[in-house]
Amino acid sequence: MTIKFGTSGWRAIISDEFTFGNVRLVTQAIVNYLKTQTANRKPQTAPRIIVGYDTRFLSKEFARVCAEVLAANKIRVLLSDRDLPTPVISFHIIKNKADGGINFTASHNPPEYNGIKFSPKTGAPAPPEVTGMIEKEIHKLKAHSPKPKAKNVNYSKYIKTFDPGPAYLSHMKTKIKFDVIKKAKLKIAVDCLYGTSRGYLDFLLKKANCRVELLHNWPNPNFDGKRPEPAEENIKELTQLVKKKGLHLGLACDGDADRFGIIDSDGTYVSANQIISLLLYHLIKTRPLKKNPVVARTLATTHIVDAICEKFKIKAYETPVGFKYFSEYLAKENCIIAGEESGGLSIGGHLPEKDGILACLLVAEMVAMNKKSIRKLLDSLYKEFGCFYFERVDLQMDGKQKNRLMKALTVKTPKIFANQPVARIDKRDGCKFFFNDGSWALFRPSGTEPIVRCYFEARTKRRLKELISHIAAT
C-alpha cells in the first residue's frame, strides 16, 4: 500500500487503508515535516496545530488519535469541539498564527472514504512540494518498525478544545453585504447534506432576516448512501422544495462545506461555472477594485471568466486543477475571485481555501441586490459576453485504461481533433486542447478514483456536441 496525497490530501477507504495505524503513521510524518520547519524555535514557542474533522464515520475518533500523536511529540493542539467546515480550519490557522492544520475529511467522496488534509501556516491546501516531503517521511517511517504508542503523556497539557464557530461567523460580516440581504427578505432553502455547514450557513442567513427551510441538517456518516456532493443529482429534494414553496434560492454545501451547489427560483440547477462567472461580474460591479486586479481559474473552468476579465482589463491566470494552486493569488487583496469548475471559490482578503459558505452567501447577496433570478442575471451576462456551452463527462476506467488513454493523448498527440486543427496544447495537468474557434477539451485522470474526467466548452451547441461525440467514438 502506498499512501499518496492527491489534489486535496490523502483519501482512502475506511478500515481498508484508512485505519488508526495509518492515521498515526501519517500524523507522525507530518510531525517530522513540522520539525524541519520549526527547528530553530525556542522550546516555549513549540509548534501549534489546529485539528478538525467532518461528520464521516470515525472522523472524531481519528482526530483524537491524531491529537494524541501530536501531543506525544510536544506539539500544542487546538482541537475542535465539533465537526467543522474546511474553510473554518483555514480561518483559524491564520487567526491563531498556527503552524498548520490537520482535517479529517474526504470532502465530497463516497461515505466509505475518509481522508487527512494538511494545511501549512498559510491556511492554504498544502502544495505538492510540502506533501512530497510528508510522503518521504511516511516512506522512512514504514521502513522501520512502528513506534509503540507513547505512555505517560499529559495530553491535557498539550490538547485544548475550542469552539471554532463565533470567530469565523463574525469574520463573515466583513465579506458579505448582509444589510442588502436583510432588505430583500429572501426565502431560501438550505441543504446541509448531513455535513458540517449546519449552524454556519443557515445561522448567517437567519441573522440576515431570511426565511430558511432546512434539509438534512444533522450528522449522518452514511450521507443517505450518496456522495455528500451538491451535484444536481444529489440535491433533488432541494430542487423540489424550492419549486413547491416558491422560494428565491436553494443553497447547498458538500460534506466539509468547501463546495457549493445552487438552485434557481424555478428549480433549475446552476453550474459552478455559471456561478463563478456571475459572481466575478457582481464583485467587479460592487467592490472597489484594487491596483492591478487579478482573477484565477483552473484549466477545467469556463473561459467566460477570461472574456469578462478582458473587458475590464483584469489579468486572468489559468492554473492546474486543485485549489492549492490559487494560494499565491488569494494571499493578495487584489485577487477578485479564484474559482474552479468542481464548485470551489474564494476571494482575496478572505481565505486561501475554497469556501462553500462564502459562495452561497455571495449568491444570496447578488440575487438580493439585483432583485432578479439567477436565470435573468445569466441572460444579461450572455447578452454582453456571448454564450459558452460547457459539459463534463466522467469515463469509468481502470488504471491500465486510464494510462492507455492519456498516453494516446499526450505522447501521440493528435494534430486534428473533432474535425478541427489543434491550435495549442497544455499538458500541465492532463491534456488540454485549444481550438481557433474558442472551443477546448481537457482530459484529466482522477488521482483518487478510477475515472478520467473529460471537460468540453464551445461557443455553439453544435461544436460542443462534436467534441463530446469525438471522444465517445474514440
- Domain 10-164: CATH class, spelled out: alpha beta
- Say whether pLDDT at 420 is over 60: yes
pLDDT in tens, 48-107: 999 999 999 999 999 999 999 999 999 999 999 999 999 999 999 999 999 999 999 999
* Mean predicted confidence (pLDDT) in 124-136: 94
Percent of the chain with pLDDT over 70: 97
> Would you state the pLDDT for residue 382?
97
Q: Indicate the residue type of 158.
A: Y
pTM: 0.94
- Say whether pLDDT at 473 is over 80: no
User: Alpha helix locations (H) across 143-208?
Assistant: 155-158, 165-172, 178-184, 201-207
CB 49 within 8 A of CB 31: no
Block residue for cell numbers 430583500: 184
User: Alpha helix locations (H) across 261-303?
Assistant: 272-286
Q: How many helices (H) and strands (E) does the chain have?
A: 16, 22
> Would you state the pLDDT for residue 148?
56
* Mean predicted confidence (pLDDT) in 330-346: 95
Q: Is 209 left (phi over 0), alpha (psi -120 to 50) or beta?
A: left
The pLDDT-based confidence of 38 (bands split at 50, 70, 90) is confident
- Provide the grid cell at 18: 484508512
* 152 or 5, greater pLDDT: 5
> Would you state the pLDDT for residue 46?
77
Q: Indicate the residue type of 324.
A: K
Q: Tell me the torsion sign for CA atoms 256, 258, 264, 268.
A: negative
> Would you state the pLDDT for residue 466?
94
Burial classification of residue 124, based on how many CB atoms lie within 10 Å of its CB (0-12 exposed, 13-18 middle, 19 or more buried): buried
Question: Mean pLDDT across the chain, nearest whole number?
Answer: 94
- Say whether pLDDT at 306 is over 80: yes
133-147, 204-218, 251-265, 414-428: the lowest-pLDDT one: 133-147
- List the chain domain ranges: 10-164, 184-385, 389-473
pLDDT in tens, 374-419: 999 999 999 999 999 999 999 998 888 888 888 888 887 788 988 8
Answer yes or no: same fold for 184-385 and 389-473. Answer: no
Angle at 24 between CA 22 and CA 27, to 5 degrees: 105
> Would you state the pLDDT for residue 28?
97
Tell which CATH architecture fits domain 184-385.
3-Layer(aba) Sandwich (3.40)
- Say whether pLDDT at 438 is over 60: yes
- Say whether pLDDT at 39 is over 80: no
How far apart are the C-alpha atoms of 343 and 257, rounded to whole Å?
A: 10
- Say whether pLDDT at 149 is over 90: no
Q: Indicate the residue type of 428.
A: R
Superfamily of domain covering 389-473: Alpha-D-phosphohexomutase, C-terminal domain (3.30.310.50)
The pLDDT-based confidence of 40 (bands split at 50, 70, 90) is confident
* Mean predicted confidence (pLDDT) in 347-370: 97
Q: Is 324 left (phi over 0), alpha (psi -120 to 50) or beta?
A: alpha
